[in-house]
Structure 1
Amino acid sequence: MNEVIIYHNPRCSKSRQTLALLEENGIQPDIRKYLDDAPSADELKLVLKQLGISARELLRTKEPEFKEQGLDDTALSDEQIIKVMTEVPKLIERPIVIKGDKARIGRPPESVLDIL
């Protein structure tokens, strides 16, 4: 099974561009609207491992919820940050494309091509 998954927000232009890029390359990904279907802590840990980044690096720091949730506190652990991201999925950077054991953030959208 070699399916491609995209954590997608239809209201985000980068997310729409990344989805279009996948489709232009003949890929019909499994679309996960993560705002409606938030990933679990275990799913996020796996995605972070696939991306090779820390939980803090996956945060959308310009969202008002970033400060509201106290995420500007640099003492927070990855576990604490992941917990907030499962509760407020809007804080997860998007889009994320996953294929096999690799993942990329579609910023810019073309960055996902190297895992396809």
Structure 2
Amino acid sequence: MIKIYHNPRCSKSRQGLAILEASGKSFETIKYLENNLTSVELQDIIIKLGIKPIDLIRKNEAIWKSEYKGKSLTDNEIIAAMVNHPKLIERPIVINDDKAVIGRPPEAIKDII
């Protein structure tokens, strides 16, 4: 099952959702700002993406700049920051079985569907 971690207020996330809708494949939309992800879920996503937790952070968010920027954080602390402040999570994220991609640019989603 394909999943998209989606923020309706984000233009790139809306474009990613449109790509999935146009594909004709069934998928699940997860509005991660309304249904917070757990640290276990985030760890699973990070493993599927094949990245470090810091690479999933939106570093231009005000909360990152004011609370975390410049600090030496462990991977677990970075994941905890995303659990506590889901706005920090880069979007959209699309998962298809064991493959995952951050939809920036949104066309990258086509590579895994």
Which of the five TM-score ranges fits, normalised by the shorter chain? over 0.9
Which residue number in structure 2 is paired with residue 115 of structure 1?
Answer: 112
1:43 aligns with 2:26: no
Structure 1: 5+ residue runs without aligned partners?
A: none
Matched length: 113
Which residue number in structure 1 is paired with residue 31 of structure 2?
Answer: 33
Q: Tell me the amino acid that sits aligned with residue 108 of structure 2.
A: S
Which residue number in structure 2 is paired with residue 61 of structure 1?
Answer: 59
* Structure 1 ranges of 4+ moved more than 4 A: none
Quick one: distance in 2 between partners of 1:27 and 1:105? 18
Deviations, residues 56-91 of structure 1 (Å, cap 9, x unaligned): 000000110102222432x21110000010010000
Which residue number in structure 1 is paired with residue 100 of structure 2?
Answer: 103
Check the 8 A contact 1:5/1:32 in 2, yes or no.
Answer: yes
Q: Tell me the amino acid that sits aligned with residue 65 of structure 1.
A: I
TM-aligned CA deviation for residue 112 of structure 1: 1.2
Instruction: Give the superposed CA RMSD.
Output: 0.9
1:91 aligns with 2:77: no
Q: Percent identity?
A: 49
Structure 2: 5+ residue runs without aligned partners?
A: none
Check the 8 A contact 1:97/1:112 in 2, yes or no.
Answer: yes
The 3-state SS of whatever aligns with 1:97 is: strand
Check the 8 A contact 1:41/1:82 in 2, yes or no.
Answer: yes
Deviations, residues 14-41 of structure 1 (Å, cap 9, x unaligned): 0000000111111232110000111100
Check the 8 A contact 1:56/1:78 in 2, yes or no.
Answer: yes
The 3-state SS of whatever aligns with 2:29 is: strand
Check the 8 A contact 1:50/1:102 in 2, yes or no.
Answer: yes
Quick one: distance in 1 between partners of 2:66 and 2:34? 21
Q: Tell me the amino acid that sits aligned with residue 80 of structure 1.
A: E
